[in-house]
Amino acid sequence: MKLAILGAGPGGYVAAIRAAQSGAQVTIIEEREVGGTCLNRGCIPTKAIIASTELLSRARELDSFGLESSGEILPNLARIVDRKNTIVATQIKGIRNLLKSWKITLKEGRGVLSSPNRLSVSSGSGPMETIDAENIIVATGSRPYQIPALPFDGKRVLSSDHALGLTEIPKSILIIGAGVIGCEFACIFRELGSEVTLLEKLPRALATEDIEISEVLAREFRKKKIRLITNTNTDRMEAGADGVHVVLIDGREIFAEKALVAVGRAFNSEGIGLEEVGVKKGICGEVLTDGKMQTNIPGVYAVGDVVGGLLLAHVASTEGMIAAANTLGGDEHMDYSSIPSAIYTSPEIASVGLREFQADERGIKVKTGHFQFRALAKAHVLGEIDGLVKVVSDALTDRVLGVHIIGPRASDLIAEAALAVRTGLRTSDIAETIHAHPTLPEAMQEASEDVSGTAIHIAKR
Amino acid sequence: MNPDDLRYHKEHTWVKVSGRKATVGITDYAQEALGDIVYIDLPEVEAEVEINAEIGEIESTKATSSIIAPVSGKIVEINEDLAESPEVMNEDPYGKGWIAVIELEDGSEVDELMDASEYTKYVEEEIK
């Protein structure tokens, strides 16, 4: 089977490898660099920078750990970004080698569908090339959404792409949008020493997370002196030579050296021949697919950010593997019910499954259990006591429907929760599972116990 | 001990009334139960607060706890020093550890609160 894949991000390259493993003859087309947004402009670069800011934050606490240093530890953003670039370059090489090892052909250029079985690829210099394939997977991803009133210029008005390349720490930065990207950058810049203002038009930061998680995060922002303004909208915005000036609808004015616009992502579904071939799209330009990741055109599949929904690398990769299997005659369906997500704020946030407010909206009766990290010895040992674990379970069956964590290593702790939600475990299953002591996952056990009021390290209420 | 000139709310806050203004804080029992206080989320000046509603949060090394308004009214002053030195609430809960000043909406609410001896008894019951 000949398979062509448009886009070599975590959706496309994973689909390519999976299909090649099953014997398909795969060509993958990439206009920019393999690894997509995740590796080049998203997950990996932000986490590489956060690794530096996190160390910086810990270094400021050296004294409380009984460690004395003779000099001040200061961030050098240019070098932090260099380190980030090295990490990204290494990973790019890794993906290229993987593709090569599976005999996947990588075409560098812009691919456009000319029929459900044919693509043309043009690179800057070379002649147009035609690729025939029995199946095509569209995995073209997304890009930062631009607001017309404040277009990106890369100097004053930044997208997350630009922000990852800054080599000088701005004195002040205004971040528009308190979603995942906005909140992560707020923590990064605050740690580096910038004055940070975060604007959100919804009533709370991270509006898709459980309400209690947003509340704890808001408190952590207050501690860090990140100014979070919710329930607001901008009335006027101007980028000038000395910075950005924004007037809010309530008349408040904000000046900042730079603005980062993080209000969402736009889908890369234009100019690649989808309309010509007749592939259906949704109102935001996302490509519509069925549960097997196939579009309305037989043989044309789509995966990753470009299909909308949850714009997460691991969702893209899973969709990619499912699409790959289905192009080879499989009958696999995507299940979105137990997808964990991790947000690298400080402290970290991770969640899986149902939020309590979603349960209310759907009329599902739930019980909740909570456990504060500050009640856990290991959290004190690490010097990271802020945050909590919240378990949401079905009131009738005791099954774990959702788990929401804000606190140390939340992104690691969510794995157990994802297994519980996916396999329909009961809170008693987690409560009765012996968790090693002293470890952070004990918080998961205690929160599960708390659903029935039997957590050992919570005082009688 | 719990000072005689204060009135006490069952959620372990106290008020000291002077004219239309009431200074508010947490009780000695509350600070003892919380342990070492590391952070306080103060209410905002100008905010309207209602009796029995949360006006802020306290984090200690072992718990987080809501601060419950003992009276209704408008916050006219907050103890800014607590942001830098929250431990003052442990050291001097009835003095330097005061949290906010509320301009009273309805003075009769204060009469409903416990006096020192009632509160002392109430706490003894709670410990049992």
Supply the pTM of this predicted model.
Answer: 0.92
User: So what's the pLDDT on residue A443?
Assistant: 98
Q: pLDDT (tens digit, 9 = 90+) per residue, A112-132? A: 999 999 999 998 777 889 999
Residue A222 touches partner B, C-beta closer than 8 Å: yes
Contact A235, A110 (CB under 8 A): no
The answer to whether B39 faces chain A, any CB pair under 8 Å, is yes
Q: How many CA atoms lie within 13 A of A228 on its CB side?
A: 27
Q: Is the pLDDT of residue A419 over 90?
A: yes
Chain B residue whose CA is closest to A458 = B63
Q: Are B76 and B98 in contact (CB under 8 A)?
A: no
Residue of B nearest to A375 (CA): B62
Interface contacts A/B by beta carbons within 8 Å: 18
Amino acid A124: pLDDT: 76
Decide if A386 and B62 are in contact by the 8 Å CB cutoff. no
Residue A310 vs residues A147, A414, B11, B108: alpha-carbon distances, Å: 21, 17, 43, 54
Nearest to A197 by CA among A258, A136, A153, A282: A258
Chain B residue numbers touching A380 (CB-CB < 8 A): 61
Q: Between vectors from CA A221 to CA A51 and to CA A252, what angle results, nearest 5°? A: 125
Higher-confidence residue of B83 and A127: namely B83
Q: Report the chain A residue with the minimal C-alpha distance to residue B39.
A: A223
The three-point CA angle A7-A11-A13 to 5° equals: 65
pLDDT at B105: 86
Report residue A164 as tokens.
């990852």
pLDDT of A33 strictly over 90: yes
What are the chain B neighbours of A385 within 8 Å (beta carbons)? Answer: 61
Q: What is the pLDDT of residue A249?
A: 92
Write down the pLDDT at residue A126. Answer: 74
**A374 neighbourhood in chain B, CB within 8 Å:** 59-64
Residues of A carrying an active site annotation: 437
Give tens-digit pLDDT for B22-71.
999 999 999 999 999 999 999 999 999 999 999 999 999 988 999 999 99
In this prediction the ipTM stands at: 0.81
pLDDT exceeds 80 at position A248: yes
The mean pLDDT of A276-303, rounded to a whole number, is 97
Write down the pLDDT at residue A127.
Answer: 81
Q: How far apart are CA B44 and CA B47, in angstroms?
A: 6
Segment A201-217 shows an average pLDDT of 97
**For chain B, where are the E strands, in sequence order?**
7-9, 13-18, 21-26, 37-41, 48-49, 54-60, 64-68, 73-78, 100-104
Q: Which of A240, A285, A232, A283 minimizes the C-alpha distance to A259?
A: A240
pLDDT at A459 over 90: no
pLDDT at B37: 96
Q: What is the pLDDT of residues A164-184, one digit of tens each?
A: 999 999 999 999 999 999 999
Mutate: best of A64, A223, A390, partner B, most B CBs <10 A: A223
Beta bridge partners of A405: A350, A389
- Facing residue for A219 by CB, picked from B57, B61, B63: B57
Helices and strands (DSSP H and E) totals, chain A: 14, 23
Best mutation site among B11, B32, B39, B40 for testing chain A: the one with the most A CBs within 10 Å?
B39
**Inter-chain CB proximity B60 and A374 less than 8 Å:** yes
Does pLDDT of A283 surpass 90?
yes
Q: Which two tokens stand for residue B92?
A: 């001097």
Residues of A in contact with B61 (CB under 8 A): 374, 380, 385
Q: What is the average pLDDT across A54-59?
A: 96
| Residue among A219, A378, A461 with most chain B CBs within 10 A, to mutate | A219
Confidence of residue A460 (pLDDT cuts 50, 70, 90): confident
Mean pLDDT of the region A90-97: 97
